[in-house]
Amino acid sequence: MKHALCLAGALLLLIVVWLLIRPDVGFDVFEDELIDSAPEEAIVEEVSEEIGEGGAPDTITPDADGQLTLGVGQTGVAGELSLTFNEMVADYRCPEGIDCGEGGAVVANVTTRLPGDGRTFNMPSDEVPQEIGDFRISIVDVEPPLISEAMLDPEAYVVMFIVERR
């Protein structure tokens, strides 16, 4: 029994080490971000699957102020950059009707794609804009507002991004 437990522990350790050193997917322990370094062919294949046989999907583009409004699962396009809002990872905003002094940030999981470059990462709203190629992306607003005792449906989030060319 003792030997079986040691063997199981060693096997578990090998699996964890293998997952951490895989070249295609890693986990940045310090930033709590999924790092996607998939080859360009995989990105092209993934985009082709999203578009499908019928041609381009409905395209969401920034408004005149550079604001791109996306719901969960939606993709917007600004020039050659595409931005997908995958999910809301964390919501630390102050609920309506509560005096928090200062509201907190949200963290959205997003995927960005440029020719030859695709990344999936967690994007906090309270940090400097993310620089992706020649673009800067930041979160400027989130809907719906938090209500003090109500849980939000994870699919109900809508995030307003500002996309600027550097």
Residue 104 inside a domain? The answer is: yes
Q: Is the pTM of this model over 0.75?
A: no
Residue 13 inside a domain? The answer is: no
Per-residue pLDDT at 29? 35
The answer, yes or no, to whether residue 22 has pLDDT greater than 50, is no
d(CA 79, CA 69): 16
CB 139 within 8 A of CB 106: yes
Q: What percent of the chain has pLDDT over 90?
A: 49
The answer, yes or no, to whether residue 51 has pLDDT greater than 70, is no
Number of domains in the chain: 1
Burial 99-132 (b: 16+ CB within 10 A, else e): eeeeeeebbbbbbbbbeeebbbbbbbbeeebbeb
CA distances from 86 to 15, 116, 159 (A): 27, 20, 11
Least confident of 39-43, 67-71, 97-101: 39-43
pLDDT in tens, 114-145: 999 999 999 999 999 999 999 999 999 999 99
CB 80 within 8 A of CB 112: no
> Residue 34: which domain range?
25-165
Residue 20 inside a domain? The answer is: no
